[in-house]
Amino acid sequence: MGYYRQALREALDLGVIALALYIVAAVGEVQVKMGRYVDGARLLGLAFTHPARTADIQSDLEHVIVQLRTALTECQIEEAIRQGKKLDFAAVTSKDFDLRETERNHLPYSVNKLEKFC
């Protein structure tokens, strides 16, 4: 994650929010590959729905949603993406991608409670 943190810092320092969102989505893909499906879906939700997003973010990373379908129900994916949409971009990116800290402080629902929405 070190290179992602560095790239994120540089994108933010340059004010290239679209690139920073792409990096957030890429970290979401890494989370999915590590088996942290809900965390990954939440980051994708943030990147896919942010007003400064570009079309290439979703088109390049849509395959991650397909991967998520092997681990989560469609309802769980949709709920995690909705939760990601509620994330504060500045809060997520200001902590050097300490995802555990971001989850504790900014997500209204825990991973275990995702099922109650579906």
In terms of pTM, does the model score above 0.95?
A: no
Taking alpha carbons only, the member of 81, 7, 1 closest to residue 41 is 81
Task: Give the pLDDT band (50/70/90) at residue 111.
Answer: low
Q: Which of 22-31, 54-63, 105-114 has the lowest mean pLDDT?
A: 105-114
State the pLDDT at residue 108: 43
CA distances from 62 to 3, 25, 30, 53, 99 (A): 22, 10, 14, 14, 21
pLDDT tens, residue by residue, 31-82 = 999 999 999 999 999 999 999 999 999 999 999 999 999 999 999 999 999 9
Is the four-CA dihedral 93, 95, 96, 101 of positive or negative sign? Answer: negative
